[in-house]
């Protein structure tokens, strides 16, 4: 396996610390993977700047890469652009966020669809979520609290 293929492979196994079982690839954090003279450089996009998870993700990526015998050394960078949006989520990422973490994605028009029952009766409850990245909303139909990914 080439160093580049090994890097792709390794990144698939790096989970976001906030969403165990969901890889940073499916979350759309990986923007570029390059290899030059045995050094693999990975460019990541933060989902939300200032997230405390960022340091952890970079460390996990570096660890996953250096564990591969094909990769001599690596660099992990956070890129200032492009800006992350929910469009970057893979289909699997979307499904798993909704099903396993009851995370709802805000539509372009600002409305919310309940990830549990699928109704449009989700309303924002407070801006204070588990982390600064997310907020909690409430579904009037199934009476579940859901997390809104901003």
Q: Give the footprint of Zn ion on this chain (CB under 5 A).
A: 114, 116-117, 139, 141-142
Nearer to Zn ion, 75 or 141 (CB): 141
Residue 66: Cβ-neighbour burial (10 angstroms; 0-12, 13-18, 19+): middle
Strand segments, DSSP code E, in 79-144 are: 103-105, 122-126, 134-139
Query: Shortest gap between Cβ of 110 and Zn ion (angstroms)?
Result: 18
Nearer to Zn ion, 5 or 142 (CB): 142
Query: Shortest gap between Cβ of 114 and Zn ion (angstroms)?
Result: 3
Q: How many residues does the chain have?
A: 150
CB contact at 8 A, 70 and 27:
no
Query: Shortest gap between Cβ of 143 and Zn ion (angstroms)?
Result: 7
End-to-end CA distance of the chain: 38
Query: Shortest gap between Cβ of 98 and Zn ion (angstroms)?
Result: 11
Query: Shortest gap between Cβ of 103 and Zn ion (angstroms)?
Result: 13
Nearer to Zn ion, 85 or 141 (CB): 141
Angular region, 78: left φ>0, alpha ψ -120 to 50, beta rest:
beta
Nearer to Zn ion, 41 or 144 (CB): 144
Nearer to Zn ion, 42 or 98 (CB): 98
Q: What is the DSSP string of 26-75?
A: TTT-EEEEEEETTEEEEEE--SSTT-THHHHHHHHHHHHHHTSTT-SEEE
């Amino acid at each position: 396996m080439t160093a580049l293929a090994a890097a792709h492979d390794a990144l698939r196994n790096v989970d976001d610390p906030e969403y165990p079982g969901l890889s940073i690839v499916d979350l759309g954090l990986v923007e570029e993977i390059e290899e030059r003279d045995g050094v693999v450089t990975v460019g990541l996009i933060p989902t939300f700047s200032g997230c405390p998870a960022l340091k952890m993700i970079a460390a996990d990526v570096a660890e996953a890469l250096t564990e591969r015998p094909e990769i001599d050394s690596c660099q992990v960078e956070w890129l200032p652009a492009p800006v992350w949006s929910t469009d970057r989520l893979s289909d699997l990422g979307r499904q798993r966020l909704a099903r396993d973490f009851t995370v709802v994605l805000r539509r372009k028009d600002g409305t919310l669809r309940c990830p549990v029952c699928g109704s449009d009766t989700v309303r924002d409850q407070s801006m204070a979520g588990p982390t600064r990245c997310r907020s909690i909303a409430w579904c009037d139909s199934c009476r579940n609290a859901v997390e809104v990914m901003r």
